[in-house]
Structure 1
């Protein structure tokens, strides 16, 4: 079935906010937006024997798990970027499964992850932590620290990459939250990326983010956080065996200008899922002009067993 809702005001607010952050121009000297050039690498001109080259005056670092490049790991390439970086650095990741836990720290903005064009499933960053796992001090990692990939910096962008957490949720078992991608930097863009997990797949934590033509997969609350994000032309795939939920957005105040907006997305998969769960009293998530397979719970939304949350939440 296809579901349309007239939520012009809210969608326009999202789009106007993003227009400041994301541009279709190619002036790499402008630091305050992301352009399409920031996610492009000329694969034919990048030589593994001399990959510290400039394309459009942006540095390119090549990662090849088999050697012969600047780094054999993604984290190794990130470590090569100087702190307080002021120009675009493109990390070109050759196909392969990179089994590592990756963090882009706050002090390293303007980083791009770029895979081979049209091959998002061939370049995978994968790990398998979950919330109940222990760190070296014997303390539970918790949901946030379970992330396979954490992006703390501003102006990050990625294309043709899969972010994966391979933990398989056991229904009813506590501590199974397992984040594949956590994004807490501001003004980030994801184009044709895949985010794969089960429970709590994508932690869209804080900031303004744009997801375009992406594929996001999970079962329970698999897109969650406090951010102000637009999901456009994305595939949202449920892998729930029985019940589940897509979005769990949270606002701490009715004045918070945040929320999830899903525009022209396709929602498919398995199970009987809610469009969202009200995480707190002011949750906000909107679906506009989206296509739904016959997997949506007829109730549409759930108040997380707290009827008071129905008063202020905006779910449409």
Structure 2
């Protein structure tokens, strides 16, 4: 019988008191294939200004806290390697980290691209403005995460469950929480949000989603929605024909209000 898989543990510390100063250097030191074992990369508090590409299976990134451990870059979306962090291999896990793109509001800028199968994020933060989180392909799970942006800030064509996450819109007008890209009825993809919270900086400034693909599919279940969400909820991206094929649903958590007597 095969023995237990080996696990390599590496420490990243920008100050030099670890195995590596850069996150990418630690990823490069990981085994090249899953049969060789997995790697846990512990990242000490700090701001790591670098782009990271995870192209090896079985990599786990662990921060001390999302508020103190930040991977950041400043680049608009111009190519596949533009995101701050790109996950291209399967069996990836991230815990207690912030993934940030500081490009600003003038165009798409991806903080995280997830294109590997079986990825999971726990207590992480994703921060940009347009196209913050590219949930591209594969099956993904997000629990207790914070996602901030203004326009289409969760987008892509993966199959993802967002569990007790907080989505915060920074758009003052014309914002959209999601842009899901399912392009055919046969595709088993879509975004599911359960027990989540949706907030924002303005009132009635953002829609829940719009169809990047004609069969776009997004569901919000038992989630709190603040007044940031526009009353109509969804948009067809100026293409009424997509209303026949897209699937959108929401069930908000009822909010009990105490009646104030004059």
Common fold, TM-score beyond 0.5? yes
**Is 2:238 aligned against 1:305?**
yes
Deviations 1:112-165 (A, max 9, x none): 00011xx2110000001103xxxxxxxxx24x4320000001000000100000
Q: Which has the higher helix share?
A: 1
Secondary structure, counterpart of 1:309 in structure 2? helix
For 1:4-153, what aligned pairs fall within 5 Å after superposition? 29=4, 58-86=7-35, 87-105=37-55, 108-116=56-64, 119-131=65-77, 141-142=78-79, 144-153=80-89
Structure 1: 4+ residue segments shifted above 6 A: none
For 1:166-181, what aligned pairs fall within 5 Å after superposition? 166-170=102-106, 176-181=107-112
**Is 2:138 aligned against 1:207?**
yes
Relative contact order: is structure 1 or structure 2 higher (C-alpha 8 Å, sep ≥ 6)? 1
- Distance (whole Å) between structure 2 residues aligned to residue 194 and residue 29 of structure 1: 33
Deviations 1:251-295 (A, max 9, x none): 121111110000000001223100001112100000000001111
* Residues 1:229 and 1:29: Cα distance change in structure 2 (over 3 Å): farther
Aligned-residue Cα RMSD (Å) equals 1.3
Secondary structure, counterpart of 2:140 in structure 1? strand
Deviates more, 1:85-94 or 1:119-128: 85-94
Whether the 8 Å CA contact 2:31–2:38 is kept in 1: the answer is no
**Is 2:101 aligned against 1:165?**
yes
* Residues 1:216 and 1:29: Cα distance change in structure 2 (over 3 Å): farther
For 1:203-282, what aligned pairs fall within 5 Å after superposition? 203-271=134-202, 272-282=205-215
* Residues 1:104 and 1:301: Cα distance change in structure 2 (over 3 Å): same
Unaligned runs of 5+ in 2: 250-262
- The number of equivalent residue pairs is 244
- Distance (whole Å) between structure 2 residues aligned to residue 243 and residue 103 of structure 1: 32
